[in-house]
Chains A and B, each alone.
Chain A
């Protein structure tokens, strides 16, 4: 494979990790979030700052990065306790715009110039580039999928499904909306933080506009396209939306239009996603017993 296609695959793997995080929030807990790119950005910026300004290695910084992102996710997840659906959707859009402008206008975060000079990841003395970086991304993606799967099988996952389906009924049965919604936000944003850290060290240069609202829409589209609340849906969505621009590259000027048109057609005719209930893939390949979602 050429370096170029490996780079594309790296991005797809990273976006799949972040989309899996969004899936925990939106798919499992049913809390709409259109500001997920903000947490991706928070992960990328904290990893970049910890490795350049504090001089930590990627591995020493990673736990801190995940902790920081999850902590901010906990705080910014609070609106979900007070607001429902459309109010929450617009609030999360707002969070994304505000976080982006903080990165853009506060000199500590590099301002409009962004942050550069982010070191490559070193693994047992060797710098991870190309295919090796892809293996690292795939390892973390597998880890994220494993955690997602464990989550759906756990009592906490069950509680989230109950809240998603009928919050009033679930809370009257003793399922705490506060605890489990915030838990979903923490897990989901932690995964976004991990993806952000990988992104920062892959690009080695980041700027605020990388984490704007269009990326949040992209993430949400991946989850919806693949199948919201399914285990593999976000990965499939990331793969399709990551490949589309490459497939349409020869069309130059009409590329973005086709992208938007495909997204529109998908949401119009397969609103449950490719792997969701009632999709054409599910009809062709009926699901075996033992579902991964509620």
Chain B
């Protein structure tokens, strides 16, 4: 039973991390209708920059904010230089552009950071908890705390602020939103800043949780999170969070208890195809 609860907590932590990455994708998909594969490159950049600042200054807080700033800028650069000029073409053109950006980023990480796994020796400022024999590590506590507050802040921004309103209007119809006086180009760029900064947090959390930062750490999330936004209903933020949590828990429990002969990373896609056959619009899609 203890083991089961620990597995459940681990699964939920994975789910929370998936949710942080997937939210950025869902935000970008909402405003631009682009499958932002390079988002996983931004997430890896977050882990590397965070690790670098942490090793320079020793401050985790500085590392997080530095990585968020760096990734925010990186996101806007990708948006302005690659996506915006390609918007008028069929969707596979920006998609291939995005994959090319992702491959280039991976190579840059390999050339700059080296082809090996770096460790992320962060000291978290609080101890782990043991409840009735169930051990909860400080890394897991920080994942829960950080992702819950990020989700809360994002929810507030999207539903309660004027910027959130502009973002929702832009995602419904960019031209009409522009006609109503919304600066849609600025809104789109700020959406990239927001999504990329959240991805940076996810990168640092993963780095600390697994104590690993390496060039190809984005390869699996790059495509798995695409499956997650599809399952959640493209562009639906609550759907993306729900799908992420379900996958994180489902993966961990299935690997732990059912002896299935498939790798854990193809589970997301099997689940996705099953969900799409049942609801072609995704769990919370409205199409």
Contact = CB atoms under 8 A, between A and B. Distances in A.
A68 interface: no
A254 B108 CA distance: 9
Nearest to B228: A90
Interface string B24-42: 0000010001010000000
A217 to B, nearest CB: 5
B108 A87 contact: no
Interface stretch (B44-52, B90-98, B167-175, B197-205): B90-98
Contact of A79 (B91, B107, B276): B276
A146 interface: no
Contact of B263 (A34, A94, A105, A221): A105
A263 B33 contact: no
B255 to A, nearest CB: 13
Interface stretch (A129-137, A151-159, A264-272): A264-272
A104 B265 CA distance: 13
Nearest to A78: B277
B96 A98 contact: no
Contacts of A271: 86, 89, 93
B35 A257 contact: no
A220 interface: yes
A224 B262 contact: no
Given A83-B276, A87-B230, A268-B86, A93 B100 contact: no
Interface stretch (B133-141, B176-184, B267-275): B267-275
Candidate in B99, B101, B227, B261 with the most chain A CB atoms within 10 angstroms: B99
Interface residues of A, number: 40
Contacts of A221: 96, 100
A268 B82 contact: yes
B111 A257 contact: yes
Nearest to B29: A86
A94 B273 contact: yes
A257 B33 contact: no
Interface in A89-121: 89-91, 93-95, 97-98, 100-101, 104-106
A274 B128 CA distance: 58
B35 A90 contact: yes
Contacts of B223: 93, 97, 213
A256 interface: yes
A91 B97 contact: no
Most buried by B among A97, A220, A257, A272: A97
Chain A interface mostly helix, strand, loop or mixed?
helix
B100 A260 contact: yes
B12 interface: no
B103 A101 contact: no
A236 B44 CA distance: 34
Given A32-B92, A224-B93, A87 B86 contact: no
Contacts of B99: 217
B266 interface: yes
Given A98-B270, A104-B263, A256 B103 contact: yes
Contacts of A87: 230, 234, 276, 280
Given A257-B111, A260-B107, A91 B35 contact: no
Interface in A203-229: 213, 217, 220-221, 224
Contacts of A86: 29, 33, 35, 91, 230, 234
B95 A89 contact: yes
Contact of B91 (A32, A104, A267): A32
A82 interface: yes
A104 B100 CA distance: 26
A261 interface: yes
A98 B269 contact: yes
B36 to A, nearest CB: 11
Contacts of A257: 104, 107-108, 111
B269 A264 contact: no
B14 interface: no
Interface in B89-125: 89, 91-93, 95-97, 99-101, 103-104, 107-108, 111
Interface in B240-287: 261-263, 265-266, 268-270, 272-273, 276-277, 280
A263 B100 contact: yes
A26 B89 CA distance: 14
Contacts of A82: 276-277, 280
Contacts of B227: 90, 93-94
B194 interface: no
Contacts of B35: 86, 89-90
Nearest to B81: A268
Contacts of A91: 230, 272-273, 276
Contact of A268 (B95, B97, B226, B230): B97
A34 B95 CA distance: 10
Interface of B: 29, 33, 35, 81-82, 85-86, 89, 91-93, 95-97, 99-101, 103-104, 107-108, 111, 223, 226-227, 230, 234, 261-263, 265-266, 268-270, 272-273, 276-277, 280
8 contacts: A83-B276, A86-B35, A89-B92, A104-B263, A224-B96, A256-B103, A264-B104, A267-B97
